[in-house]
């Protein structure tokens, strides 16, 4: 089975940003990021018109 690329992403991202991901917390960080990936996949599946801009600062 191919390795999940998220493992390499976490290691590389932590090194890039200088974050303390090590053998003590790596599994928990991966679990949380996998949950976010699942949610993000559902969001990415939504058909969005190019003109639909984000609201970086949302004000009613």
Binding site for other proteins (CB under 8 A): 9-10, 13-14, 17-21, 25, 28-30, 32-33, 35-36, 39-40, 42-44, 46, 48, 52-60
Minimal distance, residue 14 CB to other proteins, in Å: 7
Beta carbon of residue 31, minimum distance to other proteins (angstroms, whole number)? 8
Using an 8 Å Cβ cutoff, are 16 and 39 in contact? no
Comparing CB distances to other proteins, the nearer of 1 and 52 is 52
Rounded CA gap, 10 and 29, in Å? 8
Q: Is the dihedral of CA 14, 16, 17, 20 positive or negative?
A: positive
């Amino acid at each position: 089975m191919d390795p999940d690329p998220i493992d390499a992403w976490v290691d590389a991202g932590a090194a890039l940003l200088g974050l303390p991901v090590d053998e003590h917390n790596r599994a928990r960080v991966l679990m949380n990021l996998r949950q976010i990936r699942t949610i993000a996949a559902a969001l990415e599946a939504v058909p969005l018109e190019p003109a639909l801009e984000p609201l970086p600062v949302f004000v009613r």
